[in-house]
């Protein structure tokens, strides 16, 4: 008897800008979204710790090809540093490793901000996904090892105090790729001589997405199941997704278009004929007086739909990554 092939799911494409709740891991969130959309393919653009909430952009289908552009985008976090204790994980999850009775005045904290603004060197936390000799730092840390993690260059656009209290300070930071907010809390606490750790962390923006793009699990479930939301069946671990006859129009309407991730690139409008050639891997002549003559990367669209990412050289668009029509 022939074996039945594994169901591939729907070829749905776009971005789910999820407002991830506290307690849900990034991989778990991707699996949940993939199941809700019955999607063929899914991935996220930047891990968010289980203890953190907020923006986790999840790409479906063809949007997975644009993940690197979102990963490289600036991010904004709202976070609270609790003063007085340093913890092994630099957040609430780990045990206290250092303590102090000192508490900083707001003026002391404010005077420190300039040191953490601009291009700086930062050492990632012991509990991080950094690879050390082929192993993740958090795996080594869980085994009780203290590893030497080299500092890395990061960029912080701004770091502002939102609220200050006797035992904690609320900050907002706009930062580039690779920044660890937990390291900011650790390092500021050490500089102030009082120690500190993250007690609350929320990511509010990942460029180019904003809070207006947010969607919650509850909203997605309501769109997917409607009045049957309370009776929705979930697949067991490792089991095949449970197929339910349903109209996907409502949940698909909550997707952000794939092309939104490429707002950072020059946009080239092309004809349907040119789109057909590009999807076959062929270069085309770029027409129009406003079209750039040279660009290392640009995206071509036809009738507002994303066709390809490519280079523009001497008036020709040369596709590098093509999207299904």
Q: Annotated catalytic, 49?
A: yes
User: With contact defined as beta carbons under 8 Å apart, do 268 and 306 qualify?
Assistant: no
Query: Nearest-CA neighbor of 115 among 178, 159, 74, 79?
Result: 159
Q: What angle do CA 221, 226, 232 make, to 5 degrees?
A: 60
Query: Nearest-CA neighbor of 196 among 171, 178, 232?
Result: 171
C-alpha dist (Å) from residue 322 to 43, 121, 257, 278: 18, 37, 16, 7
Tokens of 237: 């671990």
Sequence-separated (6 or more) residues with CB below 8 Å from residue 321: 65, 308, 309, 310
- Residue 293 CA to residue 314 CA, distance in Å, equals 6
Catalytic residue of the set 49, 85, 90, 213: 49
For residue 141, whether the previous peptide bond is cis, meaning omega lies within 30 degrees of 0, is no
Which positions are annotated as active-site residues? 49
């Amino acid at each position: 008897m022939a074996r039945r092939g594994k169901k591939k799911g729907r070829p749905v494409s776009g971005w789910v800008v999820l407002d991830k709740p506290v307690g849900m891991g990034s991989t778990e969130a991707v699996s949940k979204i993939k199941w809700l959309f019955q999607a063929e393919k899914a991935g996220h653009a930047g891990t968010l710790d289980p203890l953190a909430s907020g923006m986790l952009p999840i790409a479906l289908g063809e949007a997975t090809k644009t993940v690197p552009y979102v990963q490289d985008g600036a991010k904004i976090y709202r976070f609270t540093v609790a003063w007085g204790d340093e913890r092994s994980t630099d957040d609430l999850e780990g045990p206290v490793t250092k303590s102090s009775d000192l508490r900083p005045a707001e003026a002391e904290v404010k005077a420190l901000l300039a040191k953490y603004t601009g291009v700086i060197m930062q050492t990632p936390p012991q509990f991080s996904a950094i690879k050390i000799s082929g192993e993740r730092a958090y795996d080594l840390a869980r085994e009780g090892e203290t590893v030497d993690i080299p500092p890395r260059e990061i960029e912080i656009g701004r770091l502002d105090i939102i609220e200050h209290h006797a035992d904690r300070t609320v900050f907002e930071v706009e930062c580039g790729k690779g920044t660890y907010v937990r390291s900011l809390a650790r390092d500021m606490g050490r500089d102030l001589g009082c120690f500190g750790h993250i007690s609350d962390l929320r990511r509010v923006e990942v460029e180019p997405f904003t809070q207006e793009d947010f969607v919650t699990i509850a909203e997605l479930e309501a769109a997917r199941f409607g009045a049957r939301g309370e009776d929705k069946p979930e697949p067991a671990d490792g089991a095949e997704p449970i197929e339910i006859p349903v109209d996907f129009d409502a949940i698909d309407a909550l997707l952000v278009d794939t092309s939104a991730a490429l707002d950072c690139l020059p946009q080239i409008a092309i004809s349907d004929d040119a789109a057909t050639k590009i999807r076959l891997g062929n270069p085309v002549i770029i027409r129009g007086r406003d079209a750039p003559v040279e660009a290392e990367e640009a995206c071509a669209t036809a009738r507002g739909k994303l066709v390809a990412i490519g280079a523009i050289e001497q008036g020709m668009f040369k596709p590098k990554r093509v999207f299904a029509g």
